[in-house]
């Protein structure tokens, strides 16, 4: 019986002394204090470029009236390349009272053909123009003949006819308004205007 008593004491002791499970201690993080955001500083070059652009814009507004801004002024060098057309397509110029393409215009025409062949989605309008000499009716007919002559050559060089439309302005839309040979030469042309 002593054995049973000892065993029961030992069992009671073991069970009473068993370790109790303690939940783990979880630390609560300290509250997050946001630092004030520092202003992101733009690189000096960017800041300088923005300031320069603003200064130039202000200076332009002060010096030029809206109708006199340089991009809107007469630019005869630009006209000699593109007329009233769409860059990079070059204007084709003509001799007085002529609608056949001049020898010195063939390289320009070939450049335009290259562009049109490389951009098959582009449609153009050929705008025939004349100088102020001659009657309105005569110049309208001459402008049409010039535009049609250029169209005929473009078609022969591989441009689809349905991509080309023509119109004549005759003497109605001169680029250069002086009455001298330099201006008249600029006004005798066919412009290539991209319409799509």
| Domain enclosing residue 156, as ranges | 82-194
Beta bridge mates, 125: 165, 193
Number of domains in the chain: 1
Position 165 pLDDT exceeds 60: yes
Question: 92 vs 14, 20, 61, 154, 174, CA distance in Å?
Answer: 112, 101, 35, 12, 15
Per-residue DSSP letter, 100: S
In a domain, 40, yes or no: no
In a domain, 12, yes or no: no
In a domain, 106, yes or no: yes
Mean pLDDT of 152-163: 96
In a domain, 64, yes or no: no
**What pLDDT does 82 receive?**
85
In a domain, 42, yes or no: no
In a domain, 182, yes or no: yes
Crossing angle (nearest 10°) for helices 106-118 and 136-156: 60
In a domain, 123, yes or no: yes
What lies within 8 Å, CB to CB, of 45 at 6+ separation is: none
Mean pLDDT of 104-128: 96
In a domain, 22, yes or no: no
**What pLDDT does 2 receive?**
58
pTM for this entry: 0.61
What lies within 8 Å, CB to CB, of 147 at 6+ separation is: 126, 127, 128, 166, 167, 168, 190
**CATH number, residue 122:** 3.30.1330.60
> In which band, very low, low, confident or very high, does the pLDDT at 12 lie, cut at 50, 70 and 90?
low
Output phi, psi for 124, to 5 deg.
Answer: -130, 160
Q: What is the DSSP string of 69-82?
A: -GGGS--HHHHHHH
Q: What is the pLDDT of residues 18-72, one digit of tens each?
A: 555 555 555 555 666 565 555 555 556 556 555 654 554 454 344 333 333 334 3
């Amino acid at each position: 019986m002593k054995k049973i008593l000892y065993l029961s004491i030992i069992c009671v002791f073991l069970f009473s002394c068993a370790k109790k499970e303690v939940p783990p201690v979880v630390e609560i993080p300290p509250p997050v204090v946001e630092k004030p955001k520092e202003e992101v500083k733009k690189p000096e070059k960017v800041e300088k470029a923005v300031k320069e652009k603003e200064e130039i814009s202000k200076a332009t507004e002060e010096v030029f009236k809206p109708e006199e801004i340089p991009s809107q002024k007469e630019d005869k060098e630009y006209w000699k390349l593109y007329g009233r057309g769409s860059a990079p397509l070059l204007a084709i110029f003509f001799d007085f009272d002529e609608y056949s393409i001049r020898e010195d215009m063939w390289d320009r025409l070939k450049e335009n053909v290259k562009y049109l062949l490389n951009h098959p989605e582009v449609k153009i309008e050929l705008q025939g123009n004349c100088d102020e000499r001659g009657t309105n009716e005569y110049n309208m007919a001459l402008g049409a003949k010039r535009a049609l002559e250029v169209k005929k050559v473009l078609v022969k060089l591989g441009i689809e006819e349905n991509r080309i439309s023509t119109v004549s302005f005759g003497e109605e839309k001169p680029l250069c308004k002086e009455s001298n040979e330099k201006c008249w030469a600029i006004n005798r042309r066919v412009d290539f205007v991209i319409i799509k």
